Homo-oligomer: A and B are copies of this chain.
Amino acid sequence: MNFAGQRQWTAAFSTEALCARILDRHRDTVRVQKPHVAVANLARIIEATLKLSNKQGFHATSLRDLAQASGLSMGGLYSYFDNKRTLLSMILGEVSTTVSEVLRAAPEGTADDPLGHLKWLIETHIRLTEAMQPWFVFAYMEAKSFPAAERRMAVDSEAATEEIFAAILRQGVASGKFAVADIELTASLIKPLLQDWYVKRAKYRKRSTSVEQYIDAVTEIVAATVLPRG
């Protein structure tokens, strides 16, 4: 992933691109045949869902609201999902598969450079959540009210991310480059630092904090924590 060439990112994580992947995964429940029609309408539906749900919550967003905001009719919506809960897992599923795909694609040469790998992970995670901000806000905010299956999916996804961090910390400690007392607990505490960027996004926007500033600040905190003092 090259952060200088941001055009690739915005294209790869556009609503259209993400909805094309959702369509692939839900071909059986989407009753509209022609892919370009299906993707276009799915994009409108999901854009409306994210917009409304992030304001008032998914549960409080009615299908009538959704129909109006997406420009489809009540019945039209039901050509794209069989019930409201399915719409929810479409979005959640896309978030969790994307995050695990992206975070596992570390560049070469990080194998014996734990600090470099750690910095790459922090930057990539924050840039990804920036590119897919409404999606991450949605997944984070609605996670508590997910039905059991989707809830487990969210918890597992979070645990997987945490384990990626824990593995790097373990490797750094083993090679003597890091000094960390409680690896699991430290790995746990990195996550909320990354999440704050999209969870409290309004605050940072108001203060005009840039992504770069935010990445630097988190990187500095993590580095100060894991590097041996002296």
Listed in ascending order, the chain A residues whose CB lies under 8 Å from chain B are 54, 56-57, 59-60, 141, 144-145, 155, 158, 181-182, 184-186, 188-189, 191-193, 195-196, 199-200, 203-204, 207, 209, 213-214, 217-218, 220-221, 224-225, 229-230
Contact = CB atoms under 8 A, between A and B. Distances in A.
A97 B193 CA distance: 26
A221 B225 contact: yes
A56 B58 CA distance: 12
A192 B193 CA distance: 6
Contacts of A221: 186, 189, 221, 224-225
Contacts of A224: 221, 224-225, 229
Contact of A220 (B56, B60, B181): B181
Given A59-B60, A192-B196, A185 B229 contact: no
Main secondary structure of the interface of A (DSSP, over half): helix
Contacts of A229: 224, 229
A229 B221 CA distance: 12
A213 B57 contact: no
Given A182-B217, A225-B221, A225-B225, A56 B189 contact: no
A218 B196 CA distance: 16
A191 B144 CA distance: 21
A219 to B, nearest CB: 11
7 contacts: A186-B221, A189-B193, A189-B196, A221-B225, A224-B224, A224-B229, A230-B230
Given A184-B207, A189-B218, A224-B224, A145 B196 contact: no
A217 B145 contact: no
Contacts of A185: 209, 213-214, 217
Contacts of A57: 57, 59, 144-145
Given A188-B200, A193-B193, 19 more contacts: A57-B59, A57-B144, A60-B145, A155-B203, A181-B217, A181-B220, A182-B217, A185-B213, A185-B217, A188-B203, A188-B204, A192-B192, A192-B196, A192-B199, A221-B224, A221-B225, A225-B225, A229-B229, A230-B230
